[in-house]
Each structure stands twice: as C-alpha cells, then as structure tokens.
Amino acid sequence: MPVAVDQHIHRHKKDAEGELFAKVLKQANRGLDGYSQGVYLFTPDGKLLAFANTADAAGVRRLTQIALKKFEPNAAPIKLDDAKVAPVLPPPPEGGLVLDVTSKVLGGYDKTDKRIAHHINSLGRDHLWLRKDEADALAQGMLLDTVKQRLVRYHLIDNTRGEPPMWRVDEIKKLDLMLKAGKLAGSVHLETKTGERGYQAELLGTVETKDGKVTRLDLVAKGDYWGEGTFSRGAPKGRFPFAVAFSLADGDCATSKVPPQGARGNLKAYLK
C-alpha cells in the first residue's frame, strides 16, 4: 500500500502514526530531530524492509525488489492496538485566506543528463496563509506590507527538488508589488549576500471580491532564478527560467489544511 506523508509533520506526531514512523526511522538509523525524507518499505507492524532517499523511479524499483525478498507473505497477521489519534496540524488563521502555491523550473536543464532528467517536470507545492486583517484589506483593495513580505520571503523560492532555504529580510533587494483596481503588478529582486543564489521576476495578477470577501486571487511570478540550497541540489547551471503561481485554495480539500513550509517550527514568525 503506497502512502505519502509529510516527514516534518509525522516525526512530530504523538499518536499512532507518529509512533509507527518513529519506529521505522530508528531502524533506518535516523532520528526525529532531522530530515527524514526518503522512501521506506515496511510491514504493517513497522519492520523496515528497505530504505533510500531517492526520487528516481529506477531506484524505487530496486528498493521494492530488495523489500520483496525480505517480505514474508505467509506470516501470521498481526493484531494492532486501537490507534491513538492526536491533532498535530495548526489550523489556518480564522477568517483568513489560504492560497495554493505551485512552482516550476521552466528550462535550463541539460536534457542529456539522465541523473537530473526527472527534475524537468517536477512541481513545488506549498500554501500561503493570510490573516483575517490581511484578507479584509485585500477585499477593500489594499495590499498590506506583511502580505508582500511573507509572499516574497517564504514562497518565491525554488522548492522543486527538496526543502529550500527561505529568503532573509536583508536578501530582499527590491520589492515593488501594487494592487490597483483589482490588478496586481510589480517586480522583485532577491539575492544572497554572496550572490550565489537569487531571483529576479515580474509579477502579475488579479483580485476579485464580492460582498466584502475575496472570491478570486490569481498571481504569477516569472523570471530568472539561480543557485540552490543545501537540501535542494541539482538546479540548472547559471540562470534559469522559474515561475511561481498563486491561487485561492479549495477550503474543503484536505490538502489545503497543510501548513506552509515556512511556518513549520515558528507559525507566529511566519504570520507576523
């Protein structure tokens, strides 16, 4: 049975899922205080059969073959205790907005390099949370500075290959984003002190409202990105085209409840 989980969340869970994940991690010589990305194949009672941190289809196939050799299909079924369930996800701000964030590298990869070929179509996914006062301001035609800062620092990042570093305040070299007559437009220049990583992009979008509520918010940032992070290796060489799209999330969808990447560990700092 294939299951995809958010490793950051699951290694902090205190319920049955968290206990199972911790048991599997221990067998892989990994703890709960670091990154736990990878593919784990294990039995229902948590016996680890194979593990590797890979996103390569051929690598996963090899792992499956290793696990099948260790798997005992005729083993007696195990009896599991009643599952403990404990909430772990902080809820989105009451009265605020949740935006789906999708990022993509649009080119620059050497297509002859099979080692990174799978990155070409990779999408980064995240959520942008807005407080109630920020959502109310948008409905009135105002774009608060806190929204601009949060959007740029935590979401104009190349997260298509792993967990990226967020932008610091002093790495915002230019931030010009305005909302006028329902249209969003502007530009941004982000760059580290060393110049090894950066993003220069134009932004264009639309905001629609009805009865004092935001009913549509679409925004796209597109420009040139360069560099990579410690946990997001494999970027194209030099500058490469990169885009990030924002749109209102479906509030009834379970995935919309997943907290923003930048909020993990310090939700207050993210929302300030």
- Residue scoring higher pLDDT (167 or 72): 167
Per residue in 218-266, pLDDT tens?
A: 999 999 999 999 888 888 989 999 999 999 998 777 777 788 988 876 8
Distance between CA atoms of residues 247 and 167, nearest Å: 21
Picking from 51, 70, 89, the residue at the C-terminal end of a domain is 70
Same-domain check for residues 31 and 109: no
Distance between CA atoms of residues 201 and 198, nearest Å: 10
Same-domain check for residues 113 and 50: no
Whether residue 43 is contained in a domain is answered as yes
Same-domain check for residues 247 and 158: yes
Same-domain check for residues 255 and 126: yes
Per residue in 88-136, pLDDT tens?
A: 678 889 999 999 999 999 988 875 555 566 667 789 999 999 999 999 9
Picking from 19, 35, 70, the residue at the C-terminal end of a domain is 70
Name the H helices within 11-91: 16-27, 57-70
- Residue scoring higher pLDDT (198 or 32): 198
What's residue 114's pLDDT? 58
- Domain total for the chain? 2
Q: What is the pTM of this model?
A: 0.78
Per residue in 148-162, pLDDT tens?
A: 999 999 999 999 988
Chain centroid, CA 237 distance in Å: 23
What's residue 142's pLDDT? 96
Same-domain check for residues 234 and 123: yes
Whether residue 180 is contained in a domain is answered as yes
Whether residue 90 is contained in a domain is answered as no
Same-domain check for residues 109 and 161: yes
Percent of the chain at pLDDT exceeding 70 = 93
Distance between CA atoms of residues 20 and 47, nearest Å: 10
Whether residue 84 is contained in a domain is answered as no
Whether residue 2 is contained in a domain is answered as no
Whether residue 91 is contained in a domain is answered as no
Same-domain check for residues 119 and 29: no
What's residue 35's pLDDT? 73
CB count in 10 Å sphere of residue 107: 11
CA angle 150-90-272, nearest 5°?
30
Q: Which domain holds residue 235?
A: 97-271
Same-domain check for residues 31 and 128: no
Whether residue 149 is contained in a domain is answered as yes
pLDDT, mean of residues 202-228:
96
Whether residue 264 is contained in a domain is answered as yes
pLDDT, mean of residues 167-193:
97
CA angle 209-215-216, nearest 5°?
100
Asked if 214 contacts 97 with a C-beta cutoff of 8 angstroms, the reply is: yes
- Residue scoring higher pLDDT (133 or 73): 133
Same-domain check for residues 134 and 189: yes
The kind and range of the H/E element at 146 are: helix 145-155
Same-domain check for residues 254 and 196: yes
Same-domain check for residues 65 and 106: no
What's residue 118's pLDDT? 64
Please, what's the b/e burial string for 9-18 (b: 16 or more CB within 10 A of its CB; e: otherwise)? Answer: bbbebeeebb
Amino acid at site 112: T
Report residue 157 as tokens.
């990042």
Report the chain's mean pLDDT, rounded to a whole number: 88
Distance between CA atoms of residues 239 and 197, nearest Å: 10
What's residue 86's pLDDT? 63
Same-domain check for residues 112 and 50: no
The answer, yes or no, to whether residue 169 has pLDDT greater than 80, is yes
The DSSP symbol for 149 reads H
What's residue 87's pLDDT? 65
Distance between CA atoms of residues 222 and 186, nearest Å: 11
Report residue 98 as tokens.
């949740």
Q: Hey, which residues does 172 pair with through a beta bridge?
A: 190
- Residue scoring higher pLDDT (265 or 211): 211
